[in-house]
């Protein structure tokens, strides 16, 4: 999913193949639910991908040729050493057991896709029905116990690894397991005896992520035990608080979930007897991992010999997961989704009543749908409007819908059509770069230069408030020149701005359109231009009410910045009166100069 959204497809045939698959999943609700149910039993393609990358042959640097060793070994033959590191063996066992869980569902998924009409679903089904996977599953079952189950706790995970390989394979492995069990039983016996002999109820055994047992006891019981243990029974062990010693083993694990929020009332501790048990437990578990290494390597050899097949399986499961997610998103949405249509280079980018797929799902949000139209005849749209009017959201919405469509997903709109799009470029936000010691305007310039050097006539460019981080007039001139440069390249561009004069581009270029986010002025009374009440403050009390709807033309709300500042509140009344008075004087001076 991440790759589909960060690296959308460009080939229309591939995109349409995905759309065909999503459309069939939508028509057959039972199929998508069956696929999701089977996929839920696995981690999609992650399990298979993990085991493939873990066991694949590492890249080797070219070395100088050398003669074959004595003893008749064939040239180029190499004896691969078995990795017996306990930690790495445990990780490999975990990956193989997770892969087995995925392989158990693969044939059922393949059967579910047998009668699919969409070509992509049929191809996925053929990959899943590859007989190699059944044979590979049999090989895993021949090495590992079938009843080894997963568990959330650290002890369950460790037990799963220790007892993963079938018994009887190695006598020393069986001895190590028996020692592990005896150490575990000894730890439980120690805590049982401690509770019986002291009468305390809170002491209990905990297994940490480091593979050692601890005693957990309430702070009050720990204090009583420390004071009275020698009086109760001189043979009782002395408890040492691990937290006080700063031992890494005291860090929380999944086993500590039930202590969340009250760890300040719990003391983790140990004793000499438990330390001895822990050494036996850790040593026996490590020995079991070393003894399991040969069995793991036998399965690893099969992985290395069939990397291509396992890689295809990982890709197929991941793609099916993405297609099901796209279908479920459409099925569970409260608004209409439509299949995108793709045309040639002369086709327009046309979106009718498009919606932002994330914002429309937020609680309490009544999202307003908006349309977009960019074509070779109208390839630049200047979008104006007040602060908070929805300009930035509109630009992001168009970009998100284009990315969704090119990922092979239906889009939230009544109609969507797109030409070939080779890239989406954005210049949004106002932030400097501390890493490169660049001001906000310097960052804007760099990003614009990058866009102008790479964008083509097939690119979608989104520019939001360019030039507002420098002198107003200079920023407006820079934005104007950038817009003309984008026009010259033929990019399909949405250009959001507060600069009113940029709307004049439409008077100079036939392929520029000006639009604005609609607003209403409500409250107070408008007053005529020569009405003295305007200066007395009546007109300035009219507030801006945003409609979040894109309409043709320039913004008609005067002084919307001042109105927005007043609506937000918190400014001294005198300061706002001065701001309005200055605005009037500037307007009067500008009118006189004209």
Over 90: is that where the pLDDT of 66 sits? no
For 10, 347, 376, 406, 464, the CA distances from 402, given in Å and listed in that order, are 11, 14, 17, 6, 17
Asked whether this chain's domains 2-56+85-151+291-332 and 171-285 adopt the same fold, the reply is yes
DSSP line for 227-283: HHHHHH-TTSPPPEEHHHHT-GGGS--GGGGGGTT-GGGEEEEE-HHHHHHHHHHHH
- Residue range 70-77: average pLDDT? 44
CATH 1.10.1420.10 fits 2-56+85-151+291-332, yes or no: yes
Angstrom distance (rounded) from CA 415 to CA 61? 54
- Residue range 504-520: average pLDDT? 89
- Residue range 413-431: average pLDDT? 88
Angstrom distance (rounded) from CA 324 to CA 28? 11
Most confident by average pLDDT, 205-209, 460-464, 539-543, 552-556: 460-464
**Which pLDDT score, from 0 to 100, does residue 561 have?**
77
Is the backbone of residue 408 left (phi > 0), alpha (psi -120 to 50) or beta? left
Q: Per residue in 470-490, pLDDT tens?
A: 777 788 888 899 999 999 999
**Which pLDDT score, from 0 to 100, does residue 414 have?**
96
Over 80: is that where the pLDDT of 460 sits? yes
| 178-182, long-range: CB < 8 A, 24+ apart | 179/280, 179/283, 179/284, 179/287, 180/281, 180/284, 180/285, 180/288, 182/280
Angstrom distance (rounded) from CA 482 to CA 445? 10
- Answer yes or no: are the C-beta atoms of 383 and 515 closer than 8 Å: yes
Compare 327 and 231 and report the one with higher pLDDT.
Answer: 327
Buried b (16+ CB within 10 A) or exposed e, 67-83: eeeeeeeeeeeeeeeee
DSSP line for 150-208: --SSHHHHHHHHHT-BPTTS-HHHHHHHHHHHHHHHHHHHHHHHHHHHH--S--EEEE-
For 221, 228, 240, 567, the CA distances from 231, given in Å and listed in that order, are 15, 5, 18, 74
**Which pLDDT score, from 0 to 100, does residue 541 have?**
64
User: Hey, CA dihedral for 65, 66, 67, 69, is it positive or negative?
Assistant: negative
Compare 338 and 141 and report the one with higher pLDDT.
Answer: 338
Q: What 3 state SS string does 393-423 have?
A: HHHHHHHHHHHHHHHCCCECCCEEEECCCCE
Strand duo 341-342 + 415-418: pairing: parallel
| 9-12, long-range: CB < 8 A, 24+ apart | 9/406, 9/407, 9/408, 10/406, 10/420, 10/421, 10/422, 12/342, 12/420
Q: Per residue in 344-371, pLDDT tens?
A: 888 999 999 999 999 998 888 889 999 9
Helices (H) and strands (E) in the chain, counts: 20, 14
Q: What CATH topology corresponds to 171-285? A: MutS, DNA mismatch repair protein; Chain A, domain 3 (1.10.1420)
Whether the predicted model's global pTM rises above the 0.95 cut: no
- Answer yes or no: are the C-beta atoms of 430 and 468 closer than 8 Å: yes
Q: Which tokens sit at 177? A: 């397991």
Percent of the chain scoring above 90 in pLDDT: 36
Angstrom distance (rounded) from CA 473 to CA 499? 9
Boundaries of every domain in the chain: 2-56+85-151+291-332, 171-285, 341-558, 560-594
For 7, 24, 322, 409, the CA distances from 403, given in Å and listed in that order, are 9, 21, 14, 9
pLDDT band, residue 582 (cuts 50/70/90): confident
- Residue range 55-71: average pLDDT? 51
pLDDT band, residue 21 (cuts 50/70/90): very high
**Which pLDDT score, from 0 to 100, does residue 572 have?**
85
Over 80: is that where the pLDDT of 540 sits? no
Q: Per residue in 247-301, pLDDT tens?
A: 444 444 444 444 444 445 888 999 999 999 999 999 999 999 998 888 888 888 8
Q: Which residues are within 8 A (CB) of 13 and not within 5 positions of it... i.e. 6 or more apart? A: none
CATH class of domain segment(s) 341-558: alpha beta
Mean pLDDT across the chain: 82
Percent of the chain scoring above 70 in pLDDT: 83
Closest CA to 367 of 386, 337, 394: 394
Strand order in the sheet with 492-496: 423-427, 459-464, 492-496, 380-384, 512-522, 543-552
Q: Per residue in 107-130, pLDDT tens?
A: 889 999 988 999 999 999 999 998
**Which pLDDT score, from 0 to 100, does residue 453 have?**
93
User: In degrees, to the nearest 5, what angle opens at C-alpha 37 toward C-alphas 31 and 38?
Assistant: 95
Main-chain phi, psi angles of 386, to 5 degrees: -75, 170
Most confident by average pLDDT, 78-82, 194-198, 520-524: 194-198
pLDDT band, residue 49 (cuts 50/70/90): confident
**Which pLDDT score, from 0 to 100, does residue 330 have?**
94
């Amino acid at each position: 999913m991440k790759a589909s959204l960060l690296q959308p497809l460009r080939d229309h045939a591939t995109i349409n193949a995905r759309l065909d698959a999503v459309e069939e999943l939508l028509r057959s609700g039972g199929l998508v639910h069956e696929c999701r149910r089977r996929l839920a039993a696995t981690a999609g393609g992650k399990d298979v991908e993990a085991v493939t990358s873990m066991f694949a042959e590492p890249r080797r640097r070219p070395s100088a040729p050398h003669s074959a060793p004595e003893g008749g070994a064939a040239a180029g033959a190499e004896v691969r050493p078995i990795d017996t590191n306990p930690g790495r063996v445990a990780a490999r066992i975990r990956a193989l057991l997770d892969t087995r869980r995925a392989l158990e569902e693969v044939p059922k998924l393949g059967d579910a896709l047998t009668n699919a009409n969409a070509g992509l679903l049929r191809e996925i089904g053929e990959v899943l029905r590859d007989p190699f996977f059944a044979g590979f599953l049999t090989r895993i079952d021949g090495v590992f116990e079938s009843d080894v189950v997963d568990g959330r706790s650290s002890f369950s995970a460790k037990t799963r690894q220790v007892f993963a390989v079938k018994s009887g394979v190695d006598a020393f492995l069986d001895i190590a397991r028996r020692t592990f069990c005896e150490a575990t039983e000894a730890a439980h016996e120690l805590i049982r005896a401690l509770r019986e002999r002291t009468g305390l109820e809170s002491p209990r055994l905990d297994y940490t992520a480091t593979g050692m047992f601890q005693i957990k006891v309430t702070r009050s019981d720990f204090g009583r035990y420390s004071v009275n243990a020698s009086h109760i029974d001189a043979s009782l062990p002395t408890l040492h608080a691990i937290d006080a010693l700063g031992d890494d083993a005291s860090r929380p694990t999944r086993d500590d979930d039930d202590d969340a929020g009250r760890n300040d009332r719990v003391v983790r501790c140990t004793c000499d007897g438990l330390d001895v048990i822990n050494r036996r437990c850790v040593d026996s578990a490590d020995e079991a991992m070393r003894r399991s290494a040969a069995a793991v390597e036998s399965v690893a050899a099969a992985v290395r010999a069939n990397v291509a097949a396992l890689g295809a399986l990982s890709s197929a499961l991941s793609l099916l997961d993405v297609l099901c997610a796209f279908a479920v998103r459409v099925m569970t949405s409260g608004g209409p989704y439509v299949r995108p249509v793709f045309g040639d280079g002369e086709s327009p980018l046309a979106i009718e009543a498009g919606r932002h797929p994330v914002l429309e799902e937020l609680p309490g949000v009544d999202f307003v749908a908006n349309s977009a139209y960019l074509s070779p005849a109208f390839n630049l749209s200047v979008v104006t409007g007040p602060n908070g009017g929805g300009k930035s959201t509109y630009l992001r919405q168009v970009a998100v819908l284009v990315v969704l469509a090119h990922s092979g997903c239906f889009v939230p709109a009544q109609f969507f059509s797109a030409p070939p799009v080779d890239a989406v470029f954005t210049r949004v936000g106002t932030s400097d770069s501390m890493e490169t010691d660049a001001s906000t305007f310097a960052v804007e310039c760099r990003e614009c230069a990058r866009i102008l050097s790479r964008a083509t006539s097939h690119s979608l460019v989104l520019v939001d408030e360019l030039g507002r981080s420098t002198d107003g007039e200079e920023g407006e001139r820079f934005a104007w020149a950038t817009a003309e440069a984008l026009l010259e390249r033929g990019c399909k561009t949405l250009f959001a701005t507060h600069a009113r004069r940029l709307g004049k581009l439409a008077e100079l270029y036939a392929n520029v359109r000006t639009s604005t986010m609609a607003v209403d002025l409500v409250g107070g009374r408008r007053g005529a231009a020569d009405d003295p009440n305007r200066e007395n403050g009546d007109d300035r009390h009219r507030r801006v009410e945003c409609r979040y709807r894109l309409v043709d033309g320039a913004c008609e709300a005067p002084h919307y910045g001042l109105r927005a500042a007043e609506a937000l509140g918190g400014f001294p009344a005198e300061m706002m009166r001065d701001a309005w008075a200055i605005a009037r004087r500037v307007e009067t001076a500008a009118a006189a100069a004209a």
